[in-house]
Amino acid sequence: MSKTNKKKYLIPEKFKGVTSFSFTTYGDELMVVFTGFEKETDIGEFADYLFGKIKMNYFHAEGPPTIH
């Protein structure tokens, strides 16, 4: 891999301790859980970083979703 390509995949140092697991749910959904953030405020920044890298739109809500 060239240096240019390696630079595209560098993970910021503050996210090096983040780990994840995934599982499927009913209805063909994929759930991915990330843990190991240094500070709670890093979560939003990580989501921006992750979804920006894969060029995917996402919605971030403060707190768990509610179903009505």
Q: Domain count for the chain, please give it.
A: 1
CA–CA gap between residue 11 and residue 19 (Å, rounded)? 12
> Per the domain annotation, does 34 fall within a domain?
yes
What is the extent of the structural domain holding 26?
A: 11-53
> Per the domain annotation, does 29 fall within a domain?
yes
Which residues have C-beta within 8 Å of that of residue 20, sequence separation ≥ 6? 32, 33, 34, 35
> Per the domain annotation, does 61 fall within a domain?
no
**Residue 3: predicted pLDDT:** 59
**Residue 19: predicted pLDDT:** 95
> Per the domain annotation, does 32 fall within a domain?
yes
Global confidence as pTM: 0.67
> Per the domain annotation, does 35 fall within a domain?
yes
Which positions of the chain have pLDDT values less than 50? none
**Residue 65: predicted pLDDT:** 66
**Residue 37: predicted pLDDT:** 93
**Residue 35: predicted pLDDT:** 95
**Residue 12: predicted pLDDT:** 85
> Per the domain annotation, does 31 fall within a domain?
yes
> Per the domain annotation, does 45 fall within a domain?
yes
> Per the domain annotation, does 43 fall within a domain?
yes
